[in-house]
Amino acid sequence: MKSEILLAFNELLEERQLPRQAIVQAIEAAMVHAYRKAVNASGAQRVEARLDLERGQIKIFAEKEVVESVQDARTEVSLEEARKIKPDVQVGEMILVDSTPADFGRVAAQTARQVIQQRLRDAERNMQLEHYKGQIGEIVSGVVQAVQPQQITVGLDMKAEGILPANHKIPGEKFRVHDRIRAVVVEVKETPRGPQIILSRTHRQFLKRLLENEVPEIYRGIVEIKSIAREAGQRAKVAVAATQPGIDPVGACVGIKGVRIQAIVKELHDEKIDVIQWDPDPVVYISKALSPARVLGVYLSESVRPEDRVATVVVSEDQLSLAIGRDGQNARLAARLTGWRIDIKSLPEAASEALYKLQQDPVLQSMLPLAVETMPQVEEILAKKAENRPVTPEEYQILARFVDWIERRIITAREETQRVENERIQAARAEIPEMAFSMPLERLGLKEHIYNILSESFETVGELMLVYKTDPDRILKMPGIGPRAMENIQACLATLPFAPGVQEARVEAEATATAGEGMPAPPTTEALASAETAPTPQEKAPAEPVLAASPETVQTAEPAQTAPSAAPEEEDFAKDGVRLDELFSVELFRKRAATLEADEEGQKAKKKAKKKIVELDYDEESGETIARRRRKREDEEWDW
């Protein structure tokens, strides 16, 4: 038995390439399953299997109850036998007893075969899953096992299988069975049939790993890859920079006579690779990214959002097609590499647009006196170009200087406008308390669908208030946001006692609506503030702050009545600095809603009470005196 077990165990180790402990656990679990099936043991009974590799033995231990007289040998053991194992055991206790059947070796071999295989497969899959999850983003090598139109199946290490989808294969590549292939692991999924390993040869990470393998300077960190833009099978651009002085990053990547880069090009099915040197100056960086085209000038239009940054590039006419590339490929890759939107113009086109801007743009009107002599020359050169007459290099230089002069003035004007806009935003932000920027947006109490839309762009109430104050159209342009949604946002912001400017807008809006119905307009916030600073002798208590009271409450208050005092929560906040979550409690909002509702009901009751005027009138036909009542109708006309 010893030789059979050891031989089988060593064969499993060599075949499965699994950890020793995983195989031992699988065999022990199979033995337990075989014992339960052989003796029909209960699932509640504790059963253990112990594999002794030194002696080549398998023993089964079952938990049994100590009794005086054994009725069922499967679950009971006599006191005499139990004390051989544990001398101080008593009747009624539970003890593990060696219960290995006499012919267990043969029974176990027949019964536990499938269990062992299943446990080993599970252990093998778990090991593959953990290994290849750590290989995401790394290059793996395998052998093509099957070629299908939708995918290629690749055999990997540890008896794992990878899948190379058709859209992750370089266009034009053809593989046959038994071909060796390299690819990068992009995703690992856990499925009931084992780990699904997705490979890719079109991902830019594949090009990055190839460069690290072929260029020792990149692997050691002397040269750093800053950015990669790639269209698989056609062209790629790689921006590199040296981390140490005296190192040529481009030369290190290309190698002597291009030997290093050619090895990568061959691996990528003759894909062209442009290696450029990264530069911290965007103007220089963009100029190099458009290589092999020669650039005359780059003019940047900065923006707060990176996706709105635009770089206007001016090139000579003979370099225009080279800068754009076939189907715009060169410009497209340069834009991805640098992160700027690139607008490429020829020199005559840029000069024509600069001339038009100089004449039409009010910002550039101050430059007209300075361009009195240059403008006729530019117009004459452009006219010659339109008539296909030859233009001298000196005239091209005049156009280039003119374009550069205009574009730089436009950039200066944009910077000034941006500076003013930033100052306006900073001033608006200063009016919003800092606590608003730490208050989650969900605390605002918006409707669920409105909150779901806004939560994609805003995280705190302060961010929403800042945009609502400086650029409300940005909120209105969001998909799913309309006038009703804006009303809900305004109403929720109005409930915040620290919201600057929101309550004033609400007061003015309610004043306008009330005046339109024929009622006297309520006083503005400034009037209420001045009234509070100058109390009358009839007042017994301090007036409630404007932001905590409704306009109707202030309007309908009679002189003999005292103004309501501030809410206890607001007084504590003003004096002791209550936390934000305590200030915005549900009870406080309910109290305010009840107060506003009571005030509105009072106003409606007063509107219903029509003002009556009695006037005596003599009727000549009847000869009697008639009392007429005068009322004011809803359309603001008097009716008798």
Same domain, yes or no: 108 and 168:
no
Tell me the C-alpha distance between 252 and 254, whole Å. 6
**CA 502 to CA 506: how far, in whole Å?**
6
Average pLDDT over residues 80-106: 80
Of 478, 494, 510, the domain-final residue:
494
Residues 6+ apart with CB under 8 A from 254: 260, 261, 275
pLDDT on residue 366: 76
Asked whether residue 138 falls in the same domain as residue 178, the answer is: yes
CA–CA distance, 174 with 606 (Å, rounded to integer): 87
Least confident of 99-113, 485-499, 511-525: 511-525
Residue pair 561/540 in contact by the 8 Å Cβ criterion: no
CA atoms of 184 and 210, how far apart (whole Å): 10
Average pLDDT over residues 494-509: 57
Mean pLDDT of the residues in the chain: 78
Is the pLDDT assigned to residue 578 strictly greater than 50?
Answer: no
Helix runs in 164-293, H state only: 204-214, 216-220, 249-254, 259-267, 282-289
Label each residue of 452-498 as H, E or C: HHHCCCCCEHHHHHHHHHHCHHHHHCCCCCCHHHHHHHHHHHHCCCC
Is 219:213 a contact under the CB 8 Å cutoff?
yes
- The pLDDT, as a whole number, for residue 349 is 93
Report DSSP state, residue 432.
S
Name the token pair of 388: 């296909």
Kindly give the pairing relationship between strand 235-242 and strand 194-200: unpaired
19 and 69 housed in the same domain: yes
Q: How confident is the model at residue 480 (pLDDT cuts 50, 70, 90)?
A: confident
Dump pLDDT digits (tens) for 233-287: 999 999 999 999 999 999 999 999 899 999 999 999 999 999 999 999 999 999 9
Contact status, residue 160 vs residue 128, Cβ threshold 8 Å: yes
DSSP H or E stretch at residue 404: helix 393-430
- Residues 79 and 91 sit within 8 Å (Cβ to Cβ): yes
| Residue 377 within any structural domain of the chain | no
Domain total in the chain? 4
440 and 484 fall within a common domain: yes
How far is residue 310's CA from residue 635's CA, in Å, rounded to a whole number? 57
CB atoms inside a 10 Å sphere around CB 490: 16
Q: Are residues 111 and 160 in the same domain?
A: no
Task: Report, in this order, helix, strand and coil percent for the chain, each rounded to 5.
Answer: 50, 20, 30
Whether residues 480 and 506 share a domain: the answer is no
* Residue 508 predicted with pLDDT over 60: no
Cis geometry, peptide bond prior to residue 292 (ω within 30 degrees of 0): yes
Query: What is the DSSP-derived secondary structure letter of residue 204?
Result: H
Write out the two tokens for 611: 């003002």
The confidence score (pLDDT) of residue 277 equals: 94
Average pLDDT of span 4-21: 69
- pLDDT for 92 equals 84
Residues 6+ apart with CB under 8 A from 52: 58, 59
pLDDT classification of 580: cutoffs 50, 70, 90: very low
CB atoms within 10 A of CB 553: 20
Mean pLDDT of 295-310: 84
Q: Tell me the C-alpha distance between 588 and 586, whole Å.
A: 5
Q: Which one is predicted more confidently, 579 or 281?
A: 281
Residue 489, Cα to own-chain centre: how many angstroms? Answer: 23
Instruction: Answer yes or no: do 469 and 514 share one domain.
Output: no
Report DSSP state, residue 147.
Answer: E
Domain-embedded: residue 74:
yes
pLDDT reading at 512 higher than 60: no
**Residue-wise DSSP of 501-534:** THHHHHHHHHHHHHHHTTSPPPP-HHHHHHHHHS
Answer yes or no: do 524 and 582 share one domain. yes
pLDDT score for 35: 81
Residue 597 structure tokens? 């509702």
Span of 319-323, 371-375, 409-413, 483-487 with lowest mean pLDDT: 371-375
pLDDT at 140: 94
Q: What is the rounded CA–CA span in Å between residue 248 and residue 26? A: 57
Written as one letter, the residue type at 464 is L
* Domain shared by 6 and 102, yes or no: yes
Q: pLDDT per residue over 523-551, tens digit each?
A: 444 443 444 444 443 333 333 333 333 33
- Predicted pLDDT of residue 118: 75
Determine the pLDDT at residue 627: 56
Q: How high is the pLDDT of residue 538?
A: 38
Percent of the chain surpassing pLDDT 70 = 72
Residue 42 lies in a domain: yes
Burial 182-193 (b: 16+ CB within 10 A, else e): bbbbbebeeeee
Q: Where in the sequence is the domain holding 162, given as residue range(s)?
A: 134-202
Q: Which of 389, 283, 297, 311 is nearest to 351 (CA)?
A: 297
Task: Please report the pLDDT score of residue 558 as a whole number.
Answer: 39
Q: For the segment 380-423, what is each residue's pLDDT rounded down to a tens digit?
A: 999 998 998 999 999 999 999 999 998 888 888 888 888 888 88
CATH of the domain at 151: 2.40.50.140
pLDDT of 328 strictly over 60: yes
How far is residue 234 CA from its own chain's centroid?
31
Sign for the pseudo-dihedral over CA of 506, 509, 513, 515: positive
pLDDT-derived band at 330, boundaries 50, 70, 90 = very high
Whether the pLDDT of residue 311 is over 60: the answer is yes
Q: What is the pLDDT of residue 361?
A: 80
Integer angstrom CA distances of residue 231 from 7, 278, 343: 54, 20, 20
Q: List the structure tokens of 350.
A: 């840029």
Whether the pLDDT of residue 572 is over 60: the answer is no
AA identity, residue 117: Q
Q: Greater confidence, 261 or 57?
A: 261
**Domain limit, last residue, from 85, 119, 153:** 119
The CA R_g of the chain, rounded to the nearest whole Å, is: 43
Give me the sign of the Cα torsion angle 377, 380, 385, 390. negative
Q: What do you get for the CA distance between the two ends of the chain, in Å?
A: 121
In this prediction, residue 3 has a pLDDT band, given cuts at 50, 70 and 90, of low
pLDDT of residue 596: 56
Q: Are residues 7 and 111 in the same domain?
A: yes
Mean pLDDT value of segment 470-498: 85
- DSSP-based three-state secondary structure for 73: coil
Judgement on whether residues 51 and 74 belong to the same structural domain of the protein: yes
Q: What is the pTM of this model?
A: 0.60
Q: For residues 326 and 304, what is the distance between their CA atoms, to the nearest angstrom?
A: 32
**Contacts by 587-592, CB closer than 8 A, 24 or more apart:** 589/445, 589/495, 591/567, 592/495, 592/548, 592/567
Reply yes or no on whether the pLDDT at 206 is more than 90. Answer: yes
Mean pLDDT, range 444-459, rounded to an integer: 87
Please indicate, yes or no, if residue 72 is contained in any of the structural domains: yes
- Domain match, 16 and 114 both: yes
Least confident of 170-174, 221-225, 508-512: 508-512
Q: Is it the case that residue 568 has pLDDT exceeding 60? A: no
Pairing of strands 310-315, 297-301: antiparallel
Q: Specify the pLDDT at position 208.
A: 94
State how far the alpha carbon of 289 is from the alpha carbons of 294, 312, 567, in Å.
10, 14, 64
Chosen domain end from 57, 84, 119 = 119
- Strands of 87-220 (E only): list them: 94-98, 139-147, 151-155, 161-165, 180-191, 194-200
The pLDDT of 156-172, averaged and rounded, is 91
Residue 623 lies in a domain: no
Mean pLDDT comparison of 348-357, 507-516, 573-582, highest-scoring range: 348-357
The verdict on residue 561 lying in a domain is yes
Enter the DSSP assignment of 621. T
Distance CA 475, CA 371 (A): 43
Please tell me which residue, 97 or 499, carries the higher pLDDT value: 97
Residue 488 has pLDDT above 70, yes or no: yes
pLDDT of residue 573: 35
User: Is residue 616 in a domain?
Assistant: no
pLDDT at res. 482: 87
How do 180-191 and 624-632 pair as beta strands? unpaired
> Residue 57: CA atoms inside 13 Å, Cβ hemisphere, count?
8
Does 619 or 138 have the greater pLDDT score? 138
Find the mean pLDDT for residues 423-429: 88
In a domain, 417, yes or no: no
Rounded to whole angstroms, the Cα distance separating 238 from 21 reads: 47
Check whether 230 has a pLDDT greater than 90. yes
Q: What angle do CA 148, 152, 154 make, to 5 degrees?
A: 140
Strand partners, 617: 626
Structure tokens given for 47 = 């059963």
